[in-house]
Each structure stands twice: as structure tokens, then as C-alpha cells.
């Protein structure tokens, strides 16, 4: 459920008409609903009520500090994959003891920053990374709490680019090799083994890959216990999908019940890393029609492009497109394209979309996850504004970039002056 609906044919975000926001901030812009964010986070977290667990929001999916602050106030932690995401999480008020640091390519400055910040644990992905963390911890005279991300070779049945749990993917340590790595870590002076981590992919629409993964992890934990290695935290990652088009993913309650049954009496604190399932349908991208073109096919040219929302071009992903103000013209099959100088610049191809004329507003649905966070300045386009609605109020939580922002940090050397 989300809190975007029509009232007298005008799209509302909670209790605010979307055209009112567009008039105030211009287009394009990302628009999020506080009520939806709160509802989705709570529904996910409560699916694990009664289990010792920690819900760490995947910052990469939607990293605005206002959104992170909301989840922190609801008791959430953060799953981060960079020093920049750590900075965002701390700035937003996330308790560092509720932050887990994932990712295959942590640098030593990032590792030191996380150690000094007192994060809960690192999810390590290679032996060489373990060595780097040990060296940084020794330099700082600190102990690094670690888990290792194991790769269970489970097919998540999702897009190849967001599949992370197969043996051919770059993520994690093969589960057959992980025991040896844990034994090596046990002997390092500045390392404390606290967990096991596993994340098999994103936008999963079935429970069975998660269940298969938990079964393999339970067997692995038993082998670790046989080596005298006790685990406090089991991090099963995120990945639960949402409905973009015709998908029918399980609800959080169904997912939670299945995980609960699969875990049995396992005595670990469960760490969950939801992202898309919480924010995906809590946000839209609002864009304005610039022109229309007809020939062999119909094109609707809008002021948002692939630099603003990369998912259609990158994954051939489907996003529903609806009118901000419903007219009488109905729908048509068309391509909705942006101003970027690439044929791959589209928000929809051959899709049933509203018949639109220049000046009208369209809303791209399910844009809350991997929308703004994947945006860029390609074609020297300033990144768009972000707006958060709360009941009858809306708040600018990121101003639109200016042309001056585009060249901030650049310089012309003296020999060119």
C-alpha cells in the first residue's frame, strides 16, 4: 500500500496535491511519502516480532538523510557499502552500534573511519580484506568485529545484474571455503568474529531462495560451532521484491513467517537489510512533458532522463507512468523518453501510458528505490530535487542542483589561462 491517490482527478501525495509541489519546486523531482515509509518499515520490522533481530535499512537504495533519520527514529539501523554512506547514516542520527558495513571494496581510510565510529560489524568478503581490517585495527589499537559474507550458490531468480548469491558472482566467499577463512580470522589479535552474513540478490519475488539459503547457513553455523566458533549475529541480507508491474512478491509477513520457520531454534540475533521493499513504492518521480513526436512510433519527450532514473535503461525495468491530472484522452502505446543524447534514454518503451500534451505532468511510479541514488550529472544535467510529504505539508529535503554545482571542485590550470 502507498499513500498516492487521486482526489477529483488530481494526484495527491498523502494530503498534498502533486501539482502544488511541482509549482513550488519545479520539475523533475522525486517525491516521497512519510506515511508510506513509516508503514512499510513498521510492517517489515513487525514481521519478525518476537525474534531477536535488527532491521538495518540498505542505504544504497535511498540515501537522503531525512529518510535515514525517519528509520532511525523507528529503531532501525543501517546497512552501508561506503564511507560516504557511513557519513550519511551518522549525520542522520543512526546509532553506530546498529550499522553494518558490507561491500567488496572497502578502502583503508573507509575501514579506519568505520572502526573509529564504533560500528556494529564489518561484513568481509575476502581474505585480503580481512588482512586490511586487521592492519587498520592494529594501527588504531582497536578490535574489529567481523562477519564474513558467504556465497551459498543459490539462484535468486532475479535480474542478472542484481543477483549476488551465485558462485559466478563477485560477492562473498564460497561457502565451502569459508570455514578455513573463519579459522584464520580466529587467530588474529585485533579481530573478533561475531557473525555470518549472506545476501543473495535483489528484487526476489519468491520465498524459496531465502529458505534454501537459510538451510545452508544453518549447516554452516553447525560446522563453525564444531570448530569452537560461536556466532552472535546471522545477517541474511535483504532482497525482498516489490510490485513494479505484474510481479507478485510475498508480503513481509509471509516472508517473516517463512524465515522464522526455517531458522527454528537457532540462537542468533537476526540482522535484516531491507531496502527496496520499504522505499520502492514510497516514492515517485514527477516529470513534465516537453514535446510529442509521431512517426513509426509515438514519442513523449519529458524533462526527466536516464541520468535521473537509470533503472529502465540499465535493467529494462518497468515503471508505471500515470497522469498527475487525469484528463479525458485515455491512454496510448508510446515511448516516454528524456533529453539525454542517447537512444537508450527512456523511461518507458512500447508501454501503455497516458495520452499527454506539452506542459502536462506525469508521475513515474515505484521510483523510491535506486532512483535518486543512481542518478548522475550525465550531459551536465543538474540532479533533481527531493521532496518529502508529511500529511498536509511538504518539505524540500534536497534542493535542485545549479549549474554552479556542476563545476564546483573543478579548476582551470594556470597554463590554460
**Cα diameter, the chain:** 71
Check if the beta carbon of residue 38 is closer than 8 Å to that of residue 5.
no
- Residue showing cell 539459503: 213
CA distance 53 to 256: 11
How many angstroms separate the CA atoms of 410 and 145, rounded?
A: 39
Among residues 78, 112, 71, 110, which one has the least CA distance to residue 96?
Answer: 78
Q: At what angle do helices 252-263 and 208-226 cross, to 10 degrees?
A: 30
Contacts of 145 (CB under 8 A, 6+ apart): 119, 120, 121, 122, 192, 194, 195
Per DSSP, what are the bridge partners of residue 201?
Answer: 163
List C-alpha distances in Å: 305 to 80, 338, 409.
27, 4, 25
CB 40 within 8 A of CB 274: no
- Cis peptide upstream of residue 101 (ω within 30 degrees of 0): no
Q: How far is CA 107 from CA 121, 140, 151, 177, in A?
A: 16, 15, 22, 24
- Kind plus residue range of the DSSP H or E element containing 10: strand 10-13
DSSP label at 229? -
Count of alpha carbons within 13 Å of 366, Cβ hemisphere only?
19
Q: Of the residues 56, 198, 268, 341, which is catalytic? A: 341
Q: Is 62 marked active-site?
A: no
Closest of 413, 391, 411 to residue 36, by C-alpha: 391
Between CA 198 and CA 179 the distance in angstroms is: 14
Please name the helix (run of DSSP H) or strand (run of DSSP E) that holds residue 139, with its range, or none. helix 127-140
Catalytic sites, residue numbers:
341
Amino acid at each position: 500500500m502507498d499513500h498516492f491517490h487521486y482526489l477529483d482527478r488530481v494526484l495527491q501525495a498523502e494530503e498534498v496535491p502533486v501539482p502544488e509541489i511541482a509549482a513550488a519546486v519545479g520539475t523533475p523531482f522525486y517525491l516521497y511519502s512519510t506515511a508510506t515509509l513509516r508503514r512499510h518499515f513498521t510492517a517489515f520490522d513487525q514481521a519478525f516480532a518476537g525474534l531477536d533481530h535488527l532491521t538495518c535499512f540498505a542505504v544504497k537504495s535511498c540515501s537522503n538523510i531525512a529518510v535515514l533519520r525517519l528509520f532511525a527514529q523507528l529503531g532501525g539501523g543501517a546497512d552501508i557499502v561506503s564511507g560516504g554512506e557511513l557519513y550519511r547514516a551518522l549525520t542522520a542520527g543512526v546509532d553506530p552500534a546498529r550499522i553494518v558495513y558490507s561491500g567488496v571494496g572497502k578502502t583503508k581510510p573507509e575501514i579506519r573511519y568505520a572502526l573509529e565510529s564504533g560500528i556494529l560489524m564489518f561484513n568481509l568478503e575476502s581474505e585480503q580484506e580481512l588482512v586490511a581490517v586487521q592492519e587498520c585495527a592494529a594501527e588504531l589499537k582497536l578490535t574489529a568485529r567481523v562477519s564474513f559474507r558467504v556465497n551459498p550458490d543459490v539462484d535468486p531468480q532475479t535480474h542478472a545484474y542484481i543477483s549476488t548469491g551465485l558462485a559466478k558472482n563477485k560477492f562473498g566467499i564460497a561457502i565451502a571455503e569459508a570455514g578455513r577463512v573463519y579459522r584464520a580470522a580466529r587467530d588474529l589479535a585485533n579481530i573478533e568474529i561475531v557473525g555470518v552474513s549472506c545476501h543473495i540478490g535483489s528484487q526476489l519475488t519468491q520465498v524459496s531462495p531465502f529458505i534454501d539459503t537459510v538451510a545452508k547457513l544453518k549447516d554452516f553455523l553447525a560446522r563453525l560451532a564444531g570448530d569452537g566458533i560461536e556466532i552472535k549475529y546471522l545477517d541474511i541480507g535483504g532482497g525482498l521484491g516489490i510490485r513494479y508491474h505484474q510481479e507478485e512478491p510475498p508480503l513481509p509477513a509471509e516472508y517473516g513467517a517463512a524465515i522464522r520457520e526455517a531458522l527454528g531454534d537457532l540462537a542468533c540475533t537476526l540482522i535484516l537489510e531491507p531496502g527496496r521493499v520499504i522505499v520502492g513504492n514510497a516514492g515517485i518521480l514527477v516529470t513534465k512533458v516537453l514535446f510529442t513526436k509521431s512517426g513509426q512510433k509515438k514519442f513523449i519527450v519529458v524533462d526527466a532522463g536516464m541520468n535521473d532514473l537509470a533503472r529502465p535503461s540499465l535493467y529494462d525495468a518497468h515503471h508505471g507512468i500515470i497522469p498527475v491530472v487525469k484528463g479525458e484522452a485515455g491512454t496510448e502505446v508510446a515511448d516516454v523518453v528524456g533529453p539525454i543524447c542517447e537512444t537508450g534514454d527512456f523511461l518507458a518503451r512500447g508501454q501503455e501510458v497516458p495520452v499527454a500534451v506539452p506542459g502536462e505532468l506525469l508521475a513515474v511510479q515505484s521510483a523510491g528505490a535506486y532512483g535518486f541514488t543512481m542518478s548522475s550529472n550525465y550531459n551536465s544535467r543538474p540532479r533533481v530535487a527531493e521532496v518529502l510529504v508529511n500529511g498536509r505539508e511538504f518539505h524540500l529535503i534536497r534542493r535542485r542542483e545549479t549549474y554552479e554545482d556542476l563545476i564546483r571542485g573543478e579548476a582551470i590550470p594556470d597554463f590554460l589561462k
